[in-house]
Amino acid sequence: MKNRPRTCVACRGKFDKNLLFKVVRICGEGAKTLRFDPAVKLQGRGAWVCKKKECIEKARKNRAFERALKERALENVYEELLCAAQKKFFPF
């Protein structure tokens, strides 16, 4: 299976999935929720964002995950993304 590029919801750039963070919409028990998926293992509709602080902030400001996944993103999703972006160095 080909490894196709994923599109960042903030900058609209196309990158390999190991250069992006994934946020997944999970449907369960009658409720939908958005969760940060650091291991890229969760099942469900996903949206991707660059591992740069600027892109995460732009996605928050423009409500990009809410548009892409048709569900309200809680503030803790963005906080988890920002925390994960600060913990590692990504040379790109």
Could you tell me the pTM of the whole model? 0.86
Q: Which tokens hold the place of 63?
A: 């409500």
pLDDT value at residue 87? 82
Q: What is the pLDDT of residues 1-47, one digit of tens each?
A: 568 899 999 999 999 999 999 999 988 776 788 999 999 999 989 99
Angle between helices 75-87 and 53-62 in degrees, nearest 10: 170
Class of domain 6-87: alpha beta
Position 88 confidence tier, pLDDT thresholds 50, 70, 90: low
Token pair listed for 45:
């509709």
Q: Are the C-beta atoms of 70 and 47 separated by less than 8 Å? A: no
Q: Residue 55 is encoded by which pair of tokens? A: 């892109």
Q: Which residues contact 13 (CB under 8 A, 6 or more apart)?
A: 7, 50
pLDDT at 31: 73
